[in-house]
Amino acid sequence: MRVQTNAINIVERTSAYLKSGLLKNTPAWYEVVAKIPPTKKFTREPRLINPSTNEDLAVLRDNREAVNKKGFYKTRPNKLDRKVNSNKLYKPPKLQYVEDQLRTLFFDQHPWELSRPKILVENSLEERFDWSHIQQLGKPLDGESVVQRTMYLLKTDKMDMITAYNQARFEFYRFRIQQEVEEQVAQEEAEMFGSVFNQSMIDFGIEKEQKVIQQWKKKAEQETELVAARRANPSDSWISAEAGATEENLDEQGSELLEL
Protein backbone atom coordinates (compact mmCIF):
# COMPACT_ATOMS: atom_id res chain seq x y z
CA MET A 1 0.00 0.00 0.00
CA ARG A 2 1.34 3.41 -0.98
CA VAL A 3 2.20 5.75 1.87
CA GLN A 4 -0.15 8.73 2.06
CA THR A 5 1.90 11.94 2.20
CA ASN A 6 -0.83 14.54 1.75
CA ALA A 7 -1.03 15.40 5.43
CA ILE A 8 2.76 15.51 5.79
CA ASN A 9 3.30 17.98 2.95
CA ILE A 10 0.71 20.41 4.27
CA VAL A 11 3.28 23.18 4.82
CA GLU A 12 4.67 22.93 1.28
CA ARG A 13 1.22 22.80 -0.27
CA THR A 14 0.00 25.78 1.75
CA SER A 15 3.11 27.77 0.80
CA ALA A 16 2.46 27.02 -2.88
CA TYR A 17 -1.17 28.09 -2.52
CA LEU A 18 -0.12 31.36 -0.89
CA LYS A 19 2.39 32.11 -3.66
CA SER A 20 -0.07 31.31 -6.44
CA GLY A 21 -2.83 33.37 -4.83
CA LEU A 22 -5.28 30.55 -4.13
CA LEU A 23 -5.11 31.47 -0.45
CA LYS A 24 -5.44 35.16 0.33
CA ASN A 25 -4.88 34.98 4.09
CA THR A 26 -2.27 33.00 5.97
CA PRO A 27 -3.86 30.30 8.19
CA ALA A 28 -3.48 30.70 11.93
CA TRP A 29 -1.63 27.38 12.26
CA TYR A 30 0.86 28.06 9.45
CA GLU A 31 3.66 29.59 11.54
CA VAL A 32 3.41 26.93 14.25
CA VAL A 33 3.46 23.97 11.85
CA ALA A 34 6.30 25.57 9.88
CA LYS A 35 8.42 25.81 13.04
CA ILE A 36 7.53 22.28 14.17
CA PRO A 37 6.89 20.32 10.95
CA PRO A 38 5.42 16.80 11.01
CA THR A 39 7.85 13.94 10.79
CA LYS A 40 8.50 12.28 7.45
CA LYS A 41 10.26 9.26 8.84
CA PHE A 42 7.93 6.26 8.88
CA THR A 43 10.49 3.69 9.97
CA ARG A 44 9.64 2.36 13.38
CA GLU A 45 12.77 2.35 15.46
CA PRO A 46 12.93 0.55 18.79
CA ARG A 47 13.21 2.68 21.90
CA LEU A 48 15.80 0.90 23.98
CA ILE A 49 15.54 3.43 26.81
CA ASN A 50 12.32 4.79 28.22
CA PRO A 51 12.75 8.60 28.30
CA SER A 52 10.29 8.98 31.18
CA THR A 53 11.95 6.56 33.60
CA ASN A 54 15.39 6.05 31.95
CA GLU A 55 14.73 2.33 32.12
CA ASP A 56 16.69 0.12 29.75
CA LEU A 57 14.11 -2.05 27.99
CA ALA A 58 16.61 -4.34 26.24
CA VAL A 59 18.36 -5.67 29.34
CA LEU A 60 17.53 -9.17 30.46
CA ARG A 61 16.20 -9.36 33.98
CA ASP A 62 18.42 -11.25 36.37
CA ASN A 63 16.22 -14.01 37.75
CA ARG A 64 18.64 -14.69 40.57
CA GLU A 65 17.57 -11.47 42.24
CA ALA A 66 13.98 -12.66 42.66
CA VAL A 67 12.71 -15.44 44.87
CA ASN A 68 9.98 -17.79 43.66
CA LYS A 69 6.93 -18.93 45.61
CA LYS A 70 8.82 -21.74 47.31
CA GLY A 71 11.52 -19.40 48.60
CA PHE A 72 14.26 -20.57 46.22
CA TYR A 73 16.32 -18.72 43.62
CA LYS A 74 16.17 -19.69 39.96
CA THR A 75 19.72 -20.40 38.81
CA ARG A 76 18.92 -21.66 35.30
CA PRO A 77 16.58 -19.36 33.35
CA ASN A 78 14.35 -21.04 30.80
CA LYS A 79 13.61 -19.96 27.23
CA LEU A 80 10.97 -17.43 28.22
CA ASP A 81 13.30 -15.78 30.73
CA ARG A 82 16.02 -15.39 28.10
CA LYS A 83 13.62 -13.82 25.61
CA VAL A 84 13.51 -10.04 25.32
CA ASN A 85 9.98 -8.70 25.26
CA SER A 86 9.84 -6.72 22.02
CA ASN A 87 6.30 -5.41 22.54
CA LYS A 88 7.51 -2.42 24.52
CA LEU A 89 10.36 -1.58 22.14
CA TYR A 90 8.05 -0.08 19.51
CA LYS A 91 5.41 1.22 21.88
CA PRO A 92 5.51 4.96 22.60
CA PRO A 93 6.35 5.63 26.25
CA LYS A 94 3.64 6.86 28.54
CA LEU A 95 4.07 10.45 29.61
CA GLN A 96 4.37 10.85 33.35
CA TYR A 97 4.30 14.15 35.21
CA VAL A 98 5.05 14.89 38.84
CA GLU A 99 2.04 17.22 38.97
CA ASP A 100 -0.34 14.37 38.15
CA GLN A 101 1.11 12.24 40.94
CA LEU A 102 0.68 15.10 43.40
CA ARG A 103 -2.92 15.68 42.28
CA THR A 104 -3.74 12.00 42.71
CA LEU A 105 -2.18 11.95 46.18
CA PHE A 106 -3.91 15.14 47.34
CA PHE A 107 -7.40 14.22 46.15
CA ASP A 108 -7.05 10.69 47.53
CA GLN A 109 -6.34 12.21 50.93
CA HIS A 110 -8.96 14.98 50.55
CA PRO A 111 -11.87 13.56 48.49
CA TRP A 112 -14.31 16.26 49.63
CA GLU A 113 -12.24 18.91 47.86
CA LEU A 114 -13.62 17.54 44.59
CA SER A 115 -17.13 18.56 45.67
CA ARG A 116 -16.26 22.25 45.73
CA PRO A 117 -17.51 24.24 42.71
CA LYS A 118 -15.03 24.88 39.92
CA ILE A 119 -14.90 27.69 37.38
CA LEU A 120 -14.30 26.06 34.00
CA VAL A 121 -14.39 29.27 31.92
CA GLU A 122 -10.89 30.57 31.21
CA ASN A 123 -10.76 34.32 30.64
CA SER A 124 -7.10 34.37 29.66
CA LEU A 125 -4.52 31.70 28.99
CA GLU A 126 -1.70 33.93 30.27
CA GLU A 127 -2.27 33.44 33.98
CA ARG A 128 0.91 34.20 35.83
CA PHE A 129 0.87 33.53 39.55
CA ASP A 130 3.58 33.99 42.12
CA TRP A 131 3.78 30.69 43.96
CA SER A 132 6.15 31.98 46.61
CA HIS A 133 2.92 32.04 48.67
CA ILE A 134 -0.05 29.72 48.31
CA GLN A 135 -2.76 32.40 48.22
CA GLN A 136 -3.24 34.00 44.80
CA LEU A 137 -5.26 36.99 43.64
CA GLY A 138 -7.99 35.88 41.25
CA LYS A 139 -7.66 32.17 41.98
CA PRO A 140 -9.56 30.30 44.70
CA LEU A 141 -7.67 28.15 47.17
CA ASP A 142 -7.93 24.52 46.05
CA GLY A 143 -5.90 21.38 45.42
CA GLU A 144 -4.16 22.88 42.41
CA SER A 145 -2.71 25.55 44.69
CA VAL A 146 -1.09 22.81 46.78
CA VAL A 147 0.35 21.18 43.65
CA GLN A 148 1.83 24.38 42.24
CA ARG A 149 3.15 25.46 45.63
CA THR A 150 4.87 22.07 46.01
CA MET A 151 6.48 22.39 42.57
CA TYR A 152 7.72 25.87 43.48
CA LEU A 153 9.32 24.58 46.68
CA LEU A 154 10.94 21.71 44.77
CA LYS A 155 12.52 24.06 42.24
CA THR A 156 13.54 26.98 44.46
CA ASP A 157 14.17 25.67 47.97
CA LYS A 158 15.59 22.32 46.78
CA MET A 159 13.38 20.33 49.14
CA ASP A 160 12.55 16.68 48.75
CA MET A 161 9.09 15.70 47.56
CA ILE A 162 7.56 14.74 50.92
CA THR A 163 8.84 17.81 52.77
CA ALA A 164 7.66 20.22 50.07
CA TYR A 165 4.25 18.55 49.82
CA ASN A 166 3.75 18.60 53.59
CA GLN A 167 4.69 22.27 53.84
CA ALA A 168 2.28 23.21 51.03
CA ARG A 169 -0.43 21.06 52.60
CA PHE A 170 -0.05 22.67 56.03
CA GLU A 171 -0.22 26.14 54.45
CA PHE A 172 -3.40 25.04 52.68
CA TYR A 173 -4.89 23.86 55.99
CA ARG A 174 -4.08 27.15 57.73
CA PHE A 175 -5.66 29.35 55.07
CA ARG A 176 -8.66 27.05 54.65
CA ILE A 177 -9.37 27.17 58.40
CA GLN A 178 -9.00 30.95 58.33
CA GLN A 179 -11.41 31.16 55.39
CA GLU A 180 -14.05 29.01 57.11
CA VAL A 181 -13.78 31.02 60.34
CA GLU A 182 -14.21 34.29 58.42
CA GLU A 183 -17.31 32.98 56.66
CA GLN A 184 -18.81 31.76 59.94
CA VAL A 185 -18.15 35.07 61.72
CA ALA A 186 -19.59 37.04 58.80
CA GLN A 187 -22.77 34.95 58.88
CA GLU A 188 -23.16 35.37 62.64
CA GLU A 189 -22.68 39.14 62.37
CA ALA A 190 -25.25 39.36 59.59
CA GLU A 191 -27.77 37.36 61.64
CA MET A 192 -27.11 39.60 64.62
CA PHE A 193 -28.06 42.66 62.56
CA GLY A 194 -31.30 41.06 61.40
CA SER A 195 -30.40 39.23 58.20
CA VAL A 196 -32.47 36.17 57.41
CA PHE A 197 -30.93 33.40 55.33
CA ASN A 198 -33.15 31.04 53.40
CA GLN A 199 -32.46 27.35 53.30
CA SER A 200 -29.69 26.22 51.02
CA MET A 201 -30.10 23.98 48.01
CA ILE A 202 -28.89 21.00 50.04
CA ASP A 203 -31.49 21.63 52.75
CA PHE A 204 -34.18 22.09 50.09
CA GLY A 205 -33.25 18.77 48.49
CA ILE A 206 -33.23 16.98 51.84
CA GLU A 207 -36.69 18.38 52.64
CA LYS A 208 -38.13 17.14 49.34
CA GLU A 209 -36.49 13.77 49.81
CA GLN A 210 -37.88 13.47 53.35
CA LYS A 211 -41.43 14.04 52.07
CA VAL A 212 -41.07 11.17 49.62
CA ILE A 213 -39.62 8.97 52.36
CA GLN A 214 -42.57 9.71 54.64
CA GLN A 215 -45.05 8.78 51.90
CA TRP A 216 -43.17 5.57 51.23
CA LYS A 217 -43.09 4.80 54.97
CA LYS A 218 -46.85 5.30 55.26
CA LYS A 219 -47.55 2.95 52.34
CA ALA A 220 -45.12 0.38 53.71
CA GLU A 221 -46.86 0.41 57.11
CA GLN A 222 -50.27 -0.09 55.47
CA GLU A 223 -49.01 -2.98 53.36
CA THR A 224 -47.34 -4.54 56.40
CA GLU A 225 -50.58 -4.38 58.39
CA LEU A 226 -52.48 -5.91 55.47
CA VAL A 227 -50.01 -8.80 55.17
CA ALA A 228 -50.17 -9.40 58.93
CA ALA A 229 -53.99 -9.47 58.82
CA ARG A 230 -53.99 -11.98 55.96
CA ARG A 231 -51.62 -14.25 57.83
CA ALA A 232 -53.76 -14.07 60.99
CA ASN A 233 -57.06 -14.91 59.23
CA PRO A 234 -56.59 -15.65 55.52
CA SER A 235 -60.31 -16.18 54.71
CA ASP A 236 -61.49 -12.91 56.27
CA SER A 237 -58.67 -10.94 54.74
CA TRP A 238 -59.41 -12.18 51.23
CA ILE A 239 -63.14 -11.56 51.71
CA SER A 240 -62.53 -8.02 52.96
CA ALA A 241 -60.13 -7.36 50.11
CA GLU A 242 -62.62 -8.65 47.54
CA ALA A 243 -65.40 -6.60 49.15
CA GLY A 244 -63.26 -3.49 49.03
CA ALA A 245 -62.44 -4.12 45.36
CA THR A 246 -66.15 -4.63 44.59
CA GLU A 247 -67.07 -1.37 46.32
CA GLU A 248 -64.40 0.47 44.35
CA ASN A 249 -65.74 -0.99 41.08
CA LEU A 250 -69.31 0.03 41.99
CA ASP A 251 -68.19 3.54 42.82
CA GLU A 252 -66.36 3.82 39.50
CA GLN A 253 -69.40 2.53 37.57
CA GLY A 254 -71.70 4.96 39.44
CA SER A 255 -69.43 7.89 38.65
CA GLU A 256 -69.37 6.89 34.97
CA LEU A 257 -73.22 6.74 34.89
CA LEU A 258 -73.47 10.16 36.50
CA GLU A 259 -71.13 11.59 33.90
CA LEU A 260 -73.30 10.12 31.12
Residue spans per domain, the chain: 5-35, 45-96, 98-119+127-193, 202-229
User: How far apart (Å, rounded) are the C-alpha atoms in residues 38 and 4?
Assistant: 13
CB count in 10 Å sphere of residue 163? 13
Q: What angle do CA 113, 119, 104 make, to 5 degrees?
A: 35
- Kindly tell me if the per-residue pLDDT of 51 is higher than 80: no
Per this entry, what is the length of the chain? 260
pLDDT digits (tens, 9 = 90+) for 189-209: 998 998 888 888 888 999 999
**Residue 87 DSSP symbol:** T
Q: Which of 97, 96, 100 is nearest to 144 (CA)?
A: 100
pLDDT of 60 reads 58
Among the ranges 30-44, 96-110, 233-247, which has the highest mean pLDDT value?
Answer: 96-110
Count CA within 13 A, CB hemisphere, residue 243: 6
- Kindly tell me if the per-residue pLDDT of 238 is higher than 70: no
Are 73 and 64 contacting, i.e. CB atoms less than 8 angstroms apart? yes
Percentage with pLDDT > 90 across the chain: 40
User: How far apart (Å, rounded) are the C-alpha atoms in residues 138 and 128?
Assistant: 11
User: How far apart (Å, rounded) are the C-alpha atoms in residues 22 and 6?
Assistant: 18
